[in-house]
Chains A and B, each alone.
Chain A
């Protein structure tokens, strides 16, 4: 057996031959014995060992015999050497006895409260006690007891008497998350996991410690005492919260999502996820739209599907060619595609946009030229060994947490240089051992344009093959920034990736849910592109709009202008809007968007939940949430992450299916709208092979004077999908405005406890904190408790008035 042969990259010099339980294997040099055994199908029991954590050899459960060594050795900490002869518990009495002894020790002080323990039924201690332990205990003393449980955070609870001191949780906190707020305290038999005084374990990644705890010591407020593992039906799913693309396992008990775990995807999230992905799922069941609704005498009432579809169809038929579609960023790739097709085929419009957030025409052109329909990559794996990774306008710990973990590991393990161009030196940047390239908020374009002069070293690194540039959502609001990023990538040869925040954005872009772009990145102005799409859609190419339609900001402008036109008795440009999955607060012009929804004569909303949007709708069609349907998300890499429904037999209808029914009602053939059918069409369409539109070439405008606002959305904030999660919300970062001491002094804020940030539409007062922030810039969270900056007319890069608040 040659495990090494699986990897062509392994040279013979790096291969050693070892014998495990009498079987010779050739494996890469340096591999740990326990991993070699795993590959051979030999399971050596273990607790502290975890393949993604540095070995500690503390639990001593994996003791095995190595020929020539009089003492048993820990398989988790010893690398194989050529000619090594290893005997596991299967062939060595020494190993078997050692393991049995350790198991007896582990159970000495363990409460054996399996019948009431969350872990019971999926517990490595329970399982290995059965396989490697004695039937009965010989210990007659008193077991250690502790007050139970104690909070490590609002979300994480600890029952200390169950702990076996394997230190997986504390090593995770320190090594993986970079948040050493969970530590082993005390000594000896009193050693216990704990936190500092009044310093809870508020890591964005804290939930992983529960999952890797090999006993039931760590539990979550959300799941504790809620279910037994054998009552759960588990389904592999993909996280809907961001574009990281985490594989999850969703556990359902009696039709209700009870728990979500990180699932093993070595290419993407490895075995980790963030707390939002793990804990924010109560929204799935709360506040749902359960039946179609129609407006009658000013109020919504329940309607049947046929009635609602009929009303919607009549309204939309009357508005053909004068309708726009706004889809939000949360749809699956298949559902987004259904809207893309519906808009062009059923509504005769190219006015469609998935971006109801800060956006620009420059961004559209950037996406069309650099991203839409491009092959996968750069990937997570490309970050692992990159000669440099430059982040611009992206705070990965908040906006794409798995990128953060991957870069932290790349920096720690492979010394990958990470550079972050940002107005703020964040803890996240420090945890990636990254170099901070300060730039004024809104000055990103200028900083990128001037990089050759200001930082030739970085430019040289970026010119090394394999270099990666990651750009984030907020650059859409900085004129010239995306143009400069594309130019930098072109001039250095660095690979460029766009990291959206929402899980559905890349899939929506690739499926054509953006004005000017048909599926696969096809420019709608290109007759060949239209012909390819028309063939798959079985419509005449002439039936498709030939000119790029309006993007979201123009859609809003147009509706608002319509209201004035209507007053002048002029015809409206729009008679209807179709919306799906919108969150008003996402949009920098939330008030305008709200007004547009009010003003438009006919509004059809596809909705999972009741919201401000459904309040304004004329027809509301209820659609499925992710746990109820199959679909896929395309992560920031461009990787497709398909999933199936976690709740089986759910009655909910997907957006695609609802659109198909609506198309039927409009007498437009759209197919069944089933996920499989939509996927097949997407596959048939494939990627555009023709000429791409050129990258935008907007100049870098120097940032305005005065004080500039830096902002982005924190991972945990007031987002809709985090509603009804008090434990999770309690671990969010505090709302505060951060600026340098110099800026605070210059603004006359010394000694102030709070500051007032004022925009066009109002002010917020938030606590002041001093930190490392670029000169003339103040940072505050975009949408956190007591701080809705877009709501007061502020966005990243905007000028902000900062005045002193409470002393």
Chain B
């Protein structure tokens, strides 16, 4: 799919956010990826033209960051954290189960184009280990069976809701969010979960709180 006028117009609007146009290259690459499911050569040429860069300069950026894909990604990008903590607490088993179920390995896409599977690095959610992501939305505290169920339901077109975010859309939709983050979905995902509230609940149970401001004790 080519980058149509509307995508180009959105790209141009990104430039406005920054004092210097080159800063827009990352969100523009996210946007290109939302339109094409990958960062194509054509997209890099378009971005280079808009920002008065060489395509080498854009390629240098596009190939540095792991979220930019230079090959088409499936409808859903499934990530399993296999860094030490998640991996050894069960992420390895989750990943293995998904490999079995999908019949693909790391950085591979199912024949039907539905899923690309990746081992991913730490997602800043170690308290929620083992962590899986679907189109980068959190699917916390997974087991092999829960993870397989997630992809099975997605494969059947059923709604799957992120544990701390909105209902799963697809990879391209998330990439659009990364370019235009105020997507109206901030209210999804609810309030803080058990892990985020763990300490606060203990404090409440034990009657603990921060000390009052000196002179304002009541």
User: Which A residues have a C-beta under 8 Å from some C-beta of B?
Assistant: 179-187, 194-199, 201
Interface contact A196-B64, CB-CB below 8 Å:
no
The stretch of B54-62, B98-106, B124-132, B190-198 that contacts the partner chain:
B54-62
Question: Whole-angstrom distance from the CB of A739 to the nearest CB of chain B?
Answer: 20
Can you add 17 more A-B contacts, CB < 8 Å, to A180-B56, A183-B59, A195-B55? A180-B53, A180-B54, A181-B54, A182-B56, A183-B54, A184-B60, A186-B63, A186-B64, A187-B66, A194-B56, A194-B59, A195-B59, A196-B45, A196-B55, A197-B41, A197-B45, A198-B55
- Given known A196-B48, A196-B54, A196-B55, contact A185–B41 (CB-CB < 8 A): no
- Is B117 an interface residue, CB under 8 A from the partner? no
Q: Given A196-B44, A198-B41, do A183 and B57 touch, yes or no (CB 8 Å)?
A: yes
Question: Cβ of A199 and Cβ of B63 under 8 Å apart?
Answer: no
Q: Mark B104-122, 1 if CB is under 8 A from A, else 0.
A: 0000000000000000000
- Closest Cβ of chain A: how far from B137's Cβ, in Å? 25
Chief secondary structure at chain A's binding surface: loop
- Chain B, residues 32-55, CB within 8 Å of chain A (1/0): the string is 000000000100110010000111
A199 & B64 in contact (Cβ 8 Å cutoff):
no
Tell whether, in the assembled complex, residue A196 and residue B63 are in contact, meaning their CB atoms are under 8 Å apart. no
Pairwise interchain contact B56-A187, C-beta atoms closer than 8 A: no
Instruction: Out of B53, B57, B59, B66, name the residue touching A197 (CB < 8 Å).
Output: B59
A4 to B100, CA, bound (A): 72
Determine the distance from Cα of A401 to Cα of B55 in the docked complex, in whole angstroms: 24
Q: Find chain A residues with CB under 8 A from B56 CB.
A: 180-183, 185, 194-196, 199, 201
Give Cα A168–Cα B64 distance, bound, in whole angstroms. 19
Q: B155 CB to closest chain A CB, in angstroms?
A: 33
Count chain A CB atoms within 10 A of each CB in B41, B44, B60, B64 and give the residue with the most.
Answer: B60
A10 to B177, CA, bound (A): 57
**Residues of B contacting A197 in the complex (Cβ-Cβ under 8 angstroms):** 41, 44-45, 55, 59
Chain B residues near A186 (CB-CB < 8 A): 63-64
30 of the cross-chain contacts (CB-CB < 8 Å) are A180-B53, A180-B56, A180-B57, A182-B56, A183-B54, A183-B56, A183-B57, A185-B56, A185-B59, A185-B63, A185-B64, A186-B63, A187-B63, A187-B64, A187-B66, A194-B59, A194-B60, A195-B55, A195-B59, A196-B45, A196-B48, A196-B54, A196-B56, A196-B58, A196-B59, A197-B45, A197-B59, A199-B55, A199-B56, A201-B56
Residues of chain B having any CB pair with chain A under 8 Å: 41, 44-45, 48, 53-60, 63-64, 66
Query: What residues of chain A lie closer than 8 Å to B59, measured between beta carbons?
Result: 183, 185, 194-197
B45 touches A185 (CB 8 A): no
Q: Lowest 9 A-B CB distances belong to which pairs?
A: A196-B55, A197-B41, A183-B60, A196-B56, A183-B56, A199-B55, A185-B63, A186-B63, A196-B59
CA distance A769 to B56 in the complex (A): 22
- Measured CA separation A199–B56 after assembly (Å): 7
The tally of CB-CB contacts under 8 A between chains A and B is: 50
Chain A residues with CB under 8 A of B57:
180, 183, 196
Closest residue of chain A to B60 (Cβ to Cβ) is A183
A772 CB to closest chain B CB (Å) equals 13
Query: Taking the nearest CB of chain A, how far is it from the CB of B119, in angstroms?
Result: 16
**Contacts A197-B41, A197-B44, A198-B41; A185 near B60 (Cβ below 8 A):** yes
**In the complex, how many angstroms separate the beta carbon of A733 from the nearest chain B beta carbon?**
15
Residues of A near B44 (CB, < 8 A) are 196-197
**Cα distance A182–B57 when bound, in Å?**
8
A185, closest chain B residue (CB): B63
Inter-chain CA distance A199–B57, complex, in Å, is 11
Minimum Cβ distance to chain A for residue B159 (Å): 36
* Chain B residues with CB below 8 A from A184, complex form: 60
Most buried by A among B55, B56, B64, B66: B56
Give B3 Cβ to nearest chain A Cβ, in Å: 15
The minimal Cβ–Cβ distance linking A333 to chain B, given in whole angstroms, is 41
- A748–B29 Cα gap in the complex (Å)? 38
CB distance from A429 to the nearest CB of B (A): 15
* Chain A residues whose C-beta falls within 8 Å of the C-beta of B48 in the assembled complex: 196
Name the CB-closest residue of A to B66: A187
A179, A180, A201 — which one has the most chain B CB atoms within 10 A of its CB?
Answer: A180
With A and B bound together, what is the CA distance between A195 and B53 in angstroms? 13
Rounded to whole angstroms, the CA-CA distance of A198 and B59 in the bound complex is 11
How many angstroms between the C-alpha atoms of A201 and B48 in the bound complex? 15
From residue A472, how far is it (CB to closest CB) to chain B in Å? 27
Cα of A183 to Cα of B55 in the assembled complex, Å: 10
Output the residue of A187, A194, A195, A197 with the most chain B CB within 10 A.
A197
Q: When chains A and B are docked, how far (Å) is the Cα of A545 from the Cα of B58?
A: 66
Whole-angstrom distance between the alpha carbons of A179 and B41 in the complex?
A: 20
Which of chain A's residues have a CB closer than 8 A to the CB of B64?
185-187
Q: Which of A181, A184, A195, A199 has the most CB of B within 10 A?
A: A199
Residues on B with C-beta less than 8 A from A201 are 56
Q: Which residues of A contact B54 (CB under 8 A)?
A: 179-181, 183, 196, 199
Among residues of B, the one whose C-beta sits closest to the C-beta of A201 is B56
For the complex formed, measure the closest distance between the CB of B146 and the CB atoms of chain A, giving whole angstroms: 33
Give CA–CA (A512, B60) in the complex, Å: 54
Most buried by A among B48, B54, B66: B54
Q: How distant is A183 from chain B, measured CB to nearest CB, in Å? A: 4
Q: Considering only CB atoms, which chain A residue lies closest to B65 in the complex?
A: A187
